Structure formats: C-alpha cells, structure tokens
C-alpha cells in the first residue's frame, strides 16, 4: 500500500535533513506506527506521503500512485487527519463535512453517521468555531473518513484528548482496520503504538532506527525485570531488578535473604524502555 525508498527531506534545501534516507513498506491491512519524539520527522514524512510537501529525493508510492507526479485520483483513496485541527470555524460541524464530501469523486459517508461515531451527535448544527480543542480534533478525525479511504493517515490521533475519548478513537481505528483499512499512524505515545500497531518504526532525528512488531521487540530487547517491595529498617523500599544481569541477580538474592519481602512482580519491558535502549533517546 505504501513503498518508500531513499526518502530525504530538507526544509532549508541543504544537508540539514528533517527526514534522512527513510526506507519502508506497508502492506495492505496493516496498522503501521511511526513512533518518535517531537521533531523526529514524523509529520514531515506524512506530509510528503500525502502530497502536502513536495517530494525532493527518493521514491514514494502511495496506494498505487507515484508521489513524484501526484494524481488527483490518489486523494480519493486516502484519508488524512492532521496534528492541528483545520476545520472551518464559521461552518457548522455538518457543513464542514458536507463541504469536504463534495471534493471527492467516489462514494462518501453520511456526515451524521460520522459525527455520531466520534461522539459529536447533537452538535451537527453548532459552528466549529465554538467547539473545544478536543471537539475540533474529533471533527477533523471524522472528516478524514468522509471518502471511505483505503489508506488512512493519522498524525497524533489521540494527542490532547481526554482518556475516554482517546480510547473511543482507538476503538474506531481498530474497527476501520478490521474492515480492511490500512493505517499509517504517527505518534509519540508508546501506549498507542503498542496497543494498535502491527509494526512500528522507531524514528529519531529524521532517521528510522528499526522496524518491527511490538511483540518481537519485547521478545528481542525486553529483558525480564522484577519489581520487589521489601521492608528495610522499618520502611518499605521498592526496587526493580533485572533477572538477566548477573550483578542485579546477586543483589536480588541478597535482598531475599536479608529482608522481609512484601511483594514481587515480574514486569515486561515497555516499548518506551526499548525505544530508549535502541535509540538512546526518550519519547518526549
């Protein structure tokens, strides 16, 4: 569904690259996560793939179209939701969707259904300018589905939303994917990446460091950790030990012998811990 080879992008038209030699392929039906901290080059990559930014160097094929000479037909097949909500504030929620609907050739979805799906039912006739940030975000998200896209680009789809709404958005993404929609999702939130994505790319400073499934990554990089709570001099102390590193194993044995253990739980490495281990950087 997407094929990217040797992609570079510089905003200053020099060697200062926001995206540096990116290579990846996304098969039909996958949820592919672009995971990296702010400034890593995620939105830039989405911008090039969706024709928002001019392709400077590399080969990019999206939904069967070469992005070098973008065909208007490509836009019938893709949906895009941006980091910043860009809705028309003077139009109502329904008018925003009705307007967008007319831009596409193929079959489109009913605005009322989409507004219901994102929890904006009852707000059809309210001007988008009166919406809260989260509501504008949901309207942008709904709009990105109006043309029934085969390929859906979502830039930070849950950032800034309260947890209940974020969870609904996640469910919608999962459901659309079950109906065959391929998803390119950028995020700096490792929980989203872990829960939703079949595969993730770790991106830092414009470079993809690794691509794999969260499950494989945990098997490959995740060492077993144990959280131990024990009583020391009258107070409860909590420490995490690796069961692989020899010195930590020995310390753990000593703690078990010397102190009264309150609790002990094994813990799987999180995607964020693996991200830090692989890239040397955090996700913030």
Choose between 211 and 252: whose C-beta lies nearer to ligand ADP: 211
- Positions 43 through 62 that interact with Mg ion (CB under 5 A): 43
Report which secondary-structure segment, H or E, holds 33. strand 31-35
Q: Does 39 sit near ligand ADP (CB under 6 A)?
A: yes
Q: How far is the CB of 172 from Mg ion (least distance, A)?
A: 21
Q: Does 211 sit near ligand ADP (CB under 6 A)?
A: no
Q: How far is the CB of 196 from ligand ADP (least distance, A)?
A: 18
> Which tokens belong to 43?
């939105």
DSSP string, 240-262: EEESSSHHHHHHHHHHHHHSEEE
**Residue among 101, 43, 40 at smallest CA distance from 76:** 101
What are the distances in angstroms from CA 229 to CA 79, 138, 235, 256, 273? 49, 42, 10, 10, 21
Q: Does 44 sit near ligand ADP (CB under 6 A)?
A: yes
Q: How far is the CB of 107 from ligand ADP (least distance, A)?
A: 32
Phi-psi region of 283 (alpha: psi -120 to 50; beta: other; left: phi over 0): alpha
Residue 44's binding partner among Mg ion, ligand ADP, none (Cβ under 5 to 8 angstroms by kind) is ligand ADP
- The separation between CA 145 and the C-alpha centre of its own chain, rounded to angstroms, equals 17
Residue of this chain nearest to Mg ion (CB atom): 43
Question: Which residue carries 């939130």 as its tokens?
Answer: 189
Which of 4, 20, 42, 269 is in the footprint of ligand ADP by CB under 6 A? 42
- Which x/- pattern, by CB under 6 A, does the window 140-179 give for ligand ADP? ----------------------------------------
Rounded to whole angstroms, how far apart are CA atoms 281 and 261? 34
- Which x/- pattern, by CB under 5 A, does the window 14-43 give for Mg ion? ----------------------------xx
Residues that bind Mg ion (CB under 5 A): 42-43
């Amino acid at each position: 569904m997407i094929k990217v080879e040797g992609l570079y992008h510089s905003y200053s038209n020099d060697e200062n690259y926001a995206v540096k030699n990116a290579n990846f392929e996304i098969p039909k039906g996958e949820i592919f996560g672009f995971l990296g901290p702010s400034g890593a080059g995620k939105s830039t990559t989405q911008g090039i793939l969706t024709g928002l930014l001019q392709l400077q160097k590399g080969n990019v094929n999206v939904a069967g179209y070469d992005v070098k000479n973008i065909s208007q037909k490509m836009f019938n097949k893709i949906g895009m939701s941006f980091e910043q909500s860009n809705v028309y504030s003077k139009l109502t929620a329904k008018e925003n969707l009705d307007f967008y609907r007319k831009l596409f050739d193929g079959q489109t979805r009913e605005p009322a259904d989409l507004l219901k799906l994102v929890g904006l039912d009852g707000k059809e006739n309210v001007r988008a300018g009166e919406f809260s940030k989260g509501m504008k975000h949901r309207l942008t998200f709904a709009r990105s589905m109006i043309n029934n896209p085969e390929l859906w680009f979502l830039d930070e789809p849950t950032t800034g939303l309260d947890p209940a709404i974020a969870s609904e958005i996640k469910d919608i993404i999962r459901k659309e994917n079950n109906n065959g929609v391929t998803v390119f999702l950028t995020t700096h939130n490792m929980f989203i990446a872990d829960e939703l994505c079949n595969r993730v790319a770790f991106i830092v400073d414009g470079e993809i460091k690794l691509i794999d499934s969260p499950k494989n990554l945990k098997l490959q990089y995740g060492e077993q950790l144990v959280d131990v709570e024990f009583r020391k001099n009258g107070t409860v102390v909590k420490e995490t030990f690796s069961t692989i590193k020899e010195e930590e194993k020995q310390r753990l044995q000593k703690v078990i012998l010397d102190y009264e253990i309150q609790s002990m739980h094994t813990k799987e490495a999180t995607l964020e811990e693996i991200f830090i281990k692989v890239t040397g950087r955090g996700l913030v």
